[in-house]
Structure 1
Amino acid sequence: MALSGRVLVLRALGLGDILTAVPALRAIRRGRPDQELVLAAPAAFADLVVGPDLVDRVLPTRALSPVEWRGPPPDVAVNLHGSGPESHRLLQALAPGRLVAYACAAVGVRGPDWRSGEHEVRRWCRVVDAAGWPADPADLHLPPPDLVSPAPGAVVVHPGAARPSRRWPAERFAAVADWAREQGHDVVVTGSADEVGLARDVADSSGLRPGAVLAGRTDLRTLAALVAGARLVVCGDTGMAHLASAHRTPSVVLFGPVAPAEWGPPPGGPHTVVWHGAARAAHGGRGDPLGDVVDPVLLTTSVGEVIRAARERLEHSATHAVVTSGG
């Protein structure tokens, strides 16, 4: 089928951000089936989102940097990046025929009003709903890559996070990894190239086999294959949790500064959330997801309760999400 135009979507953020936008991207795809759908995002994400029901190509773009668009203006530009004037201006500069975005009076953009505290998946579904493209927030799943997992059936421990406030202490991850190893599970530790030292600390402290550290050794396709074929993922509030959701892999996810109501895994899936911030949230409190020290709520999560959650996920095939909250 010949394409009759182009749609540009801006989402130049991290792994979790891309994965939470999948239902919105699918809605745009259904709503504009005869147009090329271009995602402005980091180039690495092409391995995840280029496909028949998602996007046609990725235009490499860094956060809030000018979009290097070529050719005639896009027929439609969609802002799935944010609600502020900076991201709106990046798309306005391309003179699109139509701009789909949240309202921003500072730059004269009309649209739905931004809601603080809304779940990230529903937030972007809502803005495309308003554009006339119905979105299903549950439409998160991705097919596994056509690639052999480097550790089929493993328990995957991912101790890293983009910011220290969302990083549970390494020695606690090591204790969970040690427990899983003693139960006879193959355990691997993942992370970015910057987290190799952290992953090695966890592996060394838990007596894992040589080669168990996969941090810095997997590209995004290989990481996705690992998660898709894993028995369990244990991680913090980071992109790895969303990758587990995308592949319906059982997971135990530890939350701290941000409530799972904003970034948690989908209901009805094989995911356990551990979070003790309900009392703080009830009084209007919130941690800093960009903070330089571990969030005190995250520190209240004990090794014992994470092991209990992991045991339940490994021993049972329950499909309901279990949320531990209080205190």
Structure 2
Amino acid sequence: MTDPNPHPRTPACTGPHDPRGPHTLVVRLDSVGDVLLAGPAVRMAVAGSRRVTLLAGPLGEGAARLLPGVDEVLTFDAPWVGREPAAVDRAETAALIEALARRRFDRALVLTSYHQSPLPMALLLKLAGVAWVGADSEDYPGSLLELRHRRAAGRHEAEAAMELAAAAGFALPDGDQGGLAIHPPPDTGPLTGTDPYVVVHPGASAPARAWSRARAARAVAALAGAGHRVVVTGGASEKELTAAVAGEHALDLGGRTGLHELAGVLAGARAAVVGNTGPSHLAAAVGTPVVCLFSPVVPAERWAPFGVPHVLLGDQSAPCAGTRDVRCPVPGHPCLDAIEDTEVLSALDRLPPAPSRTVRAAEAARPGGAARETHTSPEDRTALEARA
């Protein structure tokens, strides 16, 4: 097939043709947590590129716009991703290929979870004329990858992404310790008040990864009874859940925060009590310690909170271990609902004091340097955003 956007390109290993560095595309589909965990690898690409575009899925777009150094965000609802994948649509796929070709990328990194294949995306990138593509791949890639990297066994998702970026010739900038980071969040003191508090986030897109509603409500009551001020958070679709969990014992912020405002609430917290879901990684990105209710449906070694003090609670040897089930297959959800209130209180006591909001804001701002504007052109937003 003829390159739809022919021009000279140079593989990453030999250096870019532009002395200012390459125009790099980083692909990370899936959800908020996946994109946040890709953040350190994205910063590596930023440090070695003149421009970085991030291609995200509709669920992860909001997180993509929070990552320092990203110049542009594109969105594609890939039909091979997610529990409710989009139908294969020739027009949308053609629009993606055209949008990518128009940007004349010098190289692309396709970041995936350990159980996913990068090859469907790599094929589209080749059709868009991207001459150099790197990814972790257990499958034979044919001519789709210039860098076929093999991730080390059991690597955390954030570390695996950084190792792929390093294999592509990128490195973290000086002073960047490789933790998660976002643009500094807004001051949410008017929402939360200024007295110390603990966040409880009871929801998760996969119910197997969170407490049941009744169990979460009992935990909030126990935390309040032990003298903690509790703030319960959740999205617009979770207002009924957060109201029930907060009850008379906590401040209910369900539906009152977008993703960046939620980051602000988490940044002001003493700690967050949350399942293995996006807000767990958002808390890590703003430096807040985490008590993580970790169902073993996915391995903790790959998905635990990254780069912050944390305590994992939950039976990691439960029968559901490694199943990747969305809903708990064991009656009573014992791996999480059997966690005792005393365990939660003890976990909070074991966490070190959180840094001040000012210190955490400075740390979050440091990895990306000066913020660069993130935008999507109107024509690409029309063509590429998820269906309503």
Instruction: Report the TM-score, using the length of structure 1 for normalisation.
Output: 0.82
Residue 224 of structure 1, CA deviation: 0.8
Give distance in 1, aligned partners of 2:129 and 2:334.
Answer: 46
Correspondence for 1:164:
207
Q: Deviations over 1:131-172 (max 9, x none)?
A: 111357743233532433421432111111111211212222
Kept in 1, the 8 Å contact 2:202–2:211? The answer is yes
Q: CA deviation at 1:106?
A: 4.7
Following superposition, the deviation at residue 19 of structure 1 comes to 1.0
Which residue number corresponds to residue 85 of structure 1? 119
Q: Larger C-alpha radius of gyration, 1 or 2? A: 2
Cα distance per residue 1:113-133 (max 9 Å; x no partner): 245643111111111111111
Alpha-carbon distance between aligned partners in 1 of 2:48 and 2:129, rounded to the nearest angstrom = 21
Out of 12, 17, 26, the residue aligned to residue 29 of structure 2 is 12
Query: Which position in structure 1 is the counterpart of 2:322?
Result: 286
Cα drift, residue 213 of structure 1: 2.0
1:179 equivalent among 222, 231, 243: 222
Change (3 A) 1:296 1:176: closer
The correspondence for 2:140, drawn from 100, 105, 108, is: 105
Preserved contact between residue 40 and residue 179 of structure 2 (Cα < 8 Å): yes
Change (3 A) 1:243 1:289: farther
Cross-structure match for 1:198 = 241
- Give 3-state SS (helix, strand or coil) of 2:238's partner: helix
State the shift of 1:57 in Å. Answer: 1.9
**C-alpha distance in 1, partners of 2:40/2:148?**
19
Note if 1:243 corresponds to 2:243.
no
Select 1:48's aligned residue among 66, 71, 74: 66
Q: CA deviation at 1:182?
A: 2.6
What RMSD over aligned residues (CA atoms) do the two structures have, in Å? 2.9
Q: Percent identity?
A: 33
Q: Which moved more, 1:82-91 or 1:290-299?
A: 290-299
Is residue 208 from structure 1 mapped to residue 249 from structure 2 by the alignment?
yes
| 3 and 247 in structure 1: CA distance in 2 versus 1, 3 angstrom threshold | same
Cα distance between partner residues in 2 of 1:251 and 1:101: 30
C-alpha distance in 2 between matches for 1:229 and 1:47: 21
Code of the aligned partner of 2:73: V
| Aligned counterpart, 1:96 | 130
Task: Output one character per residue of 1:236-288: Cα deviation in whole Å (capped at 9) or x when no partner.
Answer: 01111111111111220011122221101236x3211113214879xxx5232
For 1:86 and 1:31, the matched residues in 2 are separated by 26
The TM-score normalised by the length of structure 2 is 0.70
Higher relative contact order (CA 8 A, sep 6+): 2
Q: 1:72 to 1:134 in 2, by over 3 A?
A: closer
**After the TM superposition, which residues 22-171 of structure 1 pair with which residues of structure 2 at under 5 Å, given as runs?**
22-32=39-49, 35-41=50-56, 42=58, 43-49=61-67, 51=68, 54-64=69-79, 66=93, 67=96, 68-69=99-100, 71-81=102-112, 82-103=116-137, 104-108=139-143, 109=145, 110-115=147-152, 117-135=154-172, 138-149=178-189, 150-151=191-192, 152=194, 153-171=196-214
Shift of 1:300: 3.8
| AA aligned opposite 1:270 | P
Report the Cα distance in structure 1 between the residues aligned to 2:228 and 2:328, rounded to whole angstroms. 33
Q: Cα distance, 1:199 vs. partner? A: 1.2
List 4+ stretches of structure 1 deviating above 6 A.
Answer: none
19-28 vs 286-295, greater mean Cα deviation: 286-295
Change (3 A) 1:168 1:279: closer
Farther off after superposition, 299-308 or 215-224: 299-308
- SS state of the match for residue 111, structure 1? strand
Unaligned runs of 5+ in 1: 320-327
